Amino acid sequence: MKETLIGSNAIRVSRDANCDVLIVPADAKFGKISCVSLASDLTDIDAESVSETLHHYCKIFGAKAEIIQVKNSFTVPKEERTENRNKIVEGMGHIKTGIVQPYDENTAEAIERHVTLNKSGWLAVIHKDHGFLAGLFHKSLTKQLAFHLEIPILSIHTK
């Protein structure tokens, strides 16, 4: 009950805020942050703004970055994904940036498995406003991950 209440409030804040929000789980373990992983489908995003934010945090921690783009049987190839991925990597400048594209029908489980095995220090996600109607049917990936990960989740709000 406590997890649901606190977690739901954290998700609500990250959804309603007009700035980046860091969600830190109660049982988070802290150490050197050597990798910040960005989980995204790379569609409908401001890639330059995302890259700027990711670069900022990686530079602070001296961390590498990685982009996790989970693919499944519903993933439709889009040129936009490739363009956005390239813009983010280019915007990272001298910061080492990797790309991981696991295939899994369960996106949240694939991300959770990857950040755990890779020992990511933070997971970054991009806030997307789906609107009222779409929001009724959209399952929040951030919410799913917030209840299972033991690392902070950075919800990036683009300009």
Q: Which residue ranges of the chain lie beneath pLDDT 70? A: 1-8, 129-140, 142-144, 146-147, 159
Q: What is the pLDDT of residue 7?
A: 55
Burial of 156 (0-12, 13-18, 19+ CB in 10 A): buried
Q: What is the pLDDT of residues 61-72, one digit of tens each?
A: 999 999 999 998
Q: What residues form DSSP beta bridges with 94?
A: none
Could you count the other beta carbons within 10 Å of the beta carbon of residue 114?
A: 19
Q: What is the pLDDT of residue 149?
A: 82
Q: What is the pLDDT of residue 1?
A: 46
Q: What is the pLDDT of residues 80-95, one digit of tens each?
A: 999 999 999 999 999 9
Q: Tell me the HSE value of 105 on the side-chain side, using a 13 A CA sphere.
A: 1
Residue for token pair 């994904």 = 81
d(CA 139, CA 80) in angstroms, rounded, equals 22
Q: What is the pLDDT of residue 12?
A: 76
